[in-house]
Amino acid sequence: MTIDTDAPEKNNADTDVEVTESTGLELFINPAGTRLAAHFQPVPNSAALSEEQILAMIAEQGYSEEDYPIYPDRLKDLVIGIRQRRSFEIEIGGPTDGDVSIYFAQDKTLAGVRILPPSGKGLPLSRQLFDSALQKARIYRGLDHELIEKIMSDEALAQVREEQCYLIAFGQKPKNGQDSELVPLTEQISERRPKVINDQIDQVDFRELGDFPVVEVETPLFRLTEPVAGEDGFSLSGKPIKAYQGKEKKLKLDSSVKPSYEDRRVYISTVKGMPVFTEQGVHVEQVLKLDEINMGTGNIRFDGSVLVKKGVNPGMLLEATGDIKVGGLVDNATVISGGNVEIVGGIIGQKSPSLKADAPTKENAVVRAKGNVKARFIQDAWVESNGSISAQKLIMHSRLWAAHQVKLAGAGQLVGGHVIAGTLIEAGQLGTLASVPTILEVGPLDAIREEVIQVQNKLKEGAAQMKQLRDLIHRIKEEKRKISPEKKEQILKARDTISNVIAALELRRSELEQEVQTRKKGRVRGIKKAHSGCNIIISDVSRILKEDFGKTTFYLEGTEILLR
């Protein structure tokens, strides 16, 4: 309830006061004669009053709606106060001046005008009100002058009887460009699907996901799209809003791929094998197929991709430069891949790795991949990926590190251990009801900070070398020494080399600064539950959960981890 504590006290000698003894409600005009006020004093057996009854009393006592328009909100407060039987005084009516105000969209590319008509004997609307509001708003571009002249004419303003809103100024939002993209033209390993056993009853075998795709020579592998330029926008104040300009994607290819002569933006294979897609292109690998990795085969090191029908037995090593698919378990063994890893049966060790350990032990299953890692489950393991890590059922008491994301399927549970991802950690359930300590970290900055320091030190070295070279050139000129053409070429070549190194370092420093901002946007998401005991860390900021949450996303805002 709103109670006007500054309302003037009644003065029966100077003010016209009407009293209704049976209700305890008094109506009167304030000393300035500008407001209709009400005073309520509870009396025995007085009944509550409705808005309609109060309005009837106002009319009966001769207070004109034209002179003293009623404030709807204040009238509601009066009804509530009477119902609560509290003694108070409140202004409930009076004239209001006409008003014109301007509002903006958040990005300052759209503006509107709000027109409120006067009530009672309030001052009328005028074009001057709009001109004053427009001057304060500092809108210099995008005005709809035709509409403004129409709605702000004296005739139009005189006909305003209720609040009106119009859009009167339109800026231009920037249209961001788009980087060139790699569009696959052939089947990828990630596109394989579970084998359908009986399509009539939707029966599938999740253990059999199909073979690796193999392409013939000169098979089109991917198309590189053209980058799209952005279009700058402008705000209503006339300031430009820069758009992102699309860039050409940097490709890193080997001799197994080349541009097509017919279309230089289409790339084709030069050998027969399995296409392995990466962030920077694709290369074609030959495939080694094995039934099982055991004492009979010995440790396997292969320059290409490997397909293991069964599993990798305890204590064995499987290392390949390409992709690896294991149809069974990686049972307390080590798998190292230069591409993607898929473990159909799951990854399991003998003992969970210590949270303080810098490296795995012989009791941990170990998987390292330069690409993505996919498994049915991960338990008591040490898993590293330069891409993303995904599991179907469970990640339990393990140490995981992924450059991009760690994700579990909708009902998957992430329990215990320490999980680190570049941008996202997502699972059906984070932690357990038993509050098992679970560290979930996204956007770590330590490695970036170390590289930034290294880059800065190299920039200082480059600047010092450039200064020494310039001093040498300056002395030669001052002393007017003659040098051989070979010596001159050597000096100029050294100058160009140092300049190129400094430029490359500056570019890398800029990339690292952008990476810091990207990592601060990391998220930890519980699709169904986030249990107490979880330690959420985003870019070195920590929050230990003291209670359970339902569907939740944790994010960094300034120096605090919030949730939504």
For residue 220, name the pLDDT band (cuts at 50, 70, 90).
very high
Q: Tell me what pLDDT residue 203 has.
A: 61
Beta carbons within 8 Å of 160's beta carbon, 6+ residues apart: 98, 115, 117, 125
Look-up of token digits 């990795």: 293
Average pLDDT over residues 83-92: 90
Instruction: Pick the range with the lowest mean pLDDT from 201-210, 228-237, 313-322.
Output: 201-210
| Range of weakest confidence among 140-144, 205-209, 432-436 | 205-209
- Locus of tokens 């930890």: 524
Domain boundaries along the sequence of the chain? 25-93, 99-170, 182-285, 447-521
- Say how far apart CA 398 and CA 421 lie, in whole Å: 14
pLDDT at 226: 94
Taking alpha carbons only, the member of 198, 194, 197 closest to residue 208 is: 194
Phi, then psi, of 188 in degrees rounded to 5:
-110, 160
Tens of pLDDT along 145-173? 999 999 999 999 999 989 999 999 999 99
Q: Are 7 and 34 in contact (CB under 8 A)?
A: no
pLDDT digits (tens, 9 = 90+) for 325-346: 999 999 999 999 999 999 999 9
CA-to-CA distance for 220 and 197, rounded, in angstroms?
Answer: 31
Tally of CA atoms within 13 A in the half-sphere of 359 that contains its CB: 3
Question: For 7, phi and psi rounded to 5 degrees?
Answer: -65, 145
- Residue 125: how many other CB atoms lie within 10 Å: 23
Q: For the chain, give me the number of helices (H) and strands (E)?
A: 7, 41
**Higher pLDDT residue, 273 or 457?**
457
SS3 (DSSP) at 472? helix
Residue with tokens 């004239």: 95
Which residue type, as a one-letter code, is found at position 162?
E
pLDDT digits (tens, 9 = 90+) for 368-424: 999 999 999 999 999 999 999 999 999 999 999 999 999 998 889 999 999 999 889
| Selected residue with higher pLDDT from 482 and 291 | 291
CA distance 302 to 401: 24
55: tokens are 């309005």
pLDDT given at position 208: 36
Q: Please state the φ and ψ torsions of residue 516, each to the nearest 5 degrees.
A: -60, -45
CA angle 227, 228, 232 (to 5 degrees): 140
Query: Has residue 535 got a pLDDT over 90?
Result: yes
| Cα torsion 196, 198, 200, 204: sign | negative
Q: Please give the single-letter amino acid code of residue 476.
A: I
pLDDT band at 433 (very low <50, low <70, confident <90, very high): confident
Q: Which residue has the tokens 């420093």?
A: 509
Taking residues 532-538, what's their average pLDDT?
Answer: 91
Q: What is the pLDDT of residue 199?
A: 54
Average pLDDT of the chain? 86
Mean pLDDT of 102-108: 91
Task: Give the residue-averaged pLDDT of 279-290.
Answer: 82
Residues 400 and 420: beta-carbon distance below 8 Å: yes
Helix (H) or strand (E) holding 512: helix 485-519
pLDDT at residue 126 tops 70: yes
Model confidence at 304: pLDDT above 90: no
Confidence of residue 210 (pLDDT cuts 50, 70, 90): very low
- Sorting pLDDT into bands at 50, 70 and 90, what band is 10? very low
CA dist 463 and 546 (Å) reads 51
Cα–Cα distance between 403 and 305 in angstroms, integer? Answer: 22
Q: What is the pTM of this model?
A: 0.49
One-letter-per-residue 3-state SS of 153-203: CHHHHHCCCCCEEEEEEECECCECCECCCEEECCCCHHHCCCEEEECCCCE
For the chain, what is the radius of gyration of the CA atoms? Answer: 37
Contacts of 286 (CB under 8 A, 6+ apart): 271, 272, 273, 274, 304, 305, 322
- For the segment 501-522, the average pLDDT, to the nearest whole number, is 84
Mean pLDDT along residues 181-185: 91
Q: List the one residue out of 87, 89, 26 whose CA is nearest residue 58.
A: 26
CA atoms of 134 and 144, how far apart (whole Å):
13
- What is the CA 247 to chain-centroid distance, rounded? 22
Please determine, for residue 243, whether its predicted confidence score (pLDDT) is greater than 60.
Answer: yes
Which of the two residues, 500 and 488, has the higher pLDDT score? 500
Q: Sorting pLDDT into bands at 50, 70 and 90, what band is 426?
A: very high
